[in-house]
Amino acid sequence: MQVKTKHLTIFISIFLLLNCSGINFAQSSDKRLKLAKEFIFEQKYSKAKQELEYIIFNDPLSKYANKAQFYLAESEFYLKNYKDAMLEYNNYLKQPFQELQLTIKAEYMLCKCWYELSNDVLRDQTSTYVALDKLQYYIEKKTMKGYSDEISDMIKNLRNKLAQKEFDTANLYFQLEQYEAAKVYFKNIINEFYDTDYINDALLNIALIIKIDSNALAIKYLSDNKEYFTSEEEFNESIRVIQD
């Protein structure tokens, strides 16, 4: 009887010890999460990462680890580690339990990651086309309704970047007096990037190439394509340039 009582006492002691440890660990995770959020607010993102990674690795099944995953993604983003940020945002979106507000924010931040990962205009633009596809996907989601203006601005900027790439190439051919090649790139802007800042100049430059052979045909070209100009004023200015 004494032996059973002794075993029971040991079991209860272990249970209470583990239970207390669990409570203490939960309190520790809670404090670490609050501290990490303070670090993010203070723009101390590397310090925030340390706290968040500790929670994720040491308290992985808790509600704190769930939120820590999102804020870890935020820290990576503001450290400009955009690929790592995408990975962490996607990890959060795979969590079985998510907060709706954080889920929507994570999807929007994925858009920002794709946007930031698009290449500079002087480099290959494959990543820009990929980013455009991703942004087009997200802007059509109902959950992104609150961020539609921001995503639209990103799409516009990316399309302007692609149009600038075409425009710079066209100008290079124009300066080399390879006018037919220049027209191909200017026309591509009109056909593909008609909603960008380069549409008016593309139309005018084609007219200038046509003007080499015929002033009248250049003016006719502008008149036939008047609808593509962003304003009546831009159209009239182009006509004046050709006439001069």
pLDDT in tens, 162-180: 999 999 999 999 999 999 9
Residue 94 confidence (pLDDT):
94
Q: Comparing 62 with 90, which gets the higher pLDDT?
A: 90
- CB 66 within 8 Å of CB 87: no
Is it the case that residue 238 has pLDDT exceeding 70? Answer: yes
Question: What band does 50 get if pLDDT is binned at 50, 70 and 90?
Answer: very high
| CA atoms of 184 and 20, how far apart (whole Å) | 74
**Architecture of the domain made up of 1-95:** Alpha Horseshoe (1.25)
Q: Say what the pLDDT of residue 123 is.
A: 76
The number of angstroms, rounded, from the C-alpha of 78 to the middle of its chain's C-alpha atoms is 13
Q: Model pTM greater than 0.85?
A: no
Q: What is the pLDDT of residue 47?
A: 96
Instruction: Say if residue 161's pLDDT is above 90.
Output: yes
Size of the chain, expressed as the number of residues it contains: 244
The whole-number average pLDDT for the span 199-218 is 96
- What is the per-residue pLDDT for 120? 75
pLDDT band at 26 (very low <50, low <70, confident <90, very high): low
CA angle 161, 106, 32 (to 5 degrees): 130
Domain ranges of the chain: 1-95
1 pLDDT exceeds 60?
A: no
Tell which residue, 189, 110, 98, 178, has the closest CA to residue 147: 110
Q: What is the pLDDT of residue 122?
A: 62
Tokens at residue 212, please? 């080499």
Predicted local distance difference test score (pLDDT) of residue 35: 96
Is 2 a residue whose pLDDT tops 80?
A: no
HEC secondary structure over the chain = CHHHHHHHHHHHHHHHHHHHHHHHHHHHHHHHHHHHHHHHHCCCHHHHHHHHHHHHHHCCCCHHHHHHHHHHHHHHHHCCCHHHHHHHHHHHHCCCCCCHHHHHHHHHHHHHHHHHHCCCCCCCCHHHHHHHHHHHHHHCCHHHHHHHHHHHHHHHHHHHHHHHHHHHHHHHHHHCCCHHHHHHHHHHHHHHCCCCCCHHHHHHHHHHHHHCCCHHHHHHHHHHCHHHCCCHHHHHHHHHHHHC
Q: What is the pLDDT of residue 11?
A: 44
The 10s digit of each residue's pLDDT in 92-141 is 999 888 899 999 999 999 999 999 999 876 677 899 999 999 999 999 99
Confidence of residue 5 (pLDDT cuts 50, 70, 90): low
Provide the pLDDT for residue 194: 94
Amino acid at 64: Y
Task: Please check the confidence at residue 8 and state whether its pLDDT lies above 60.
Answer: no
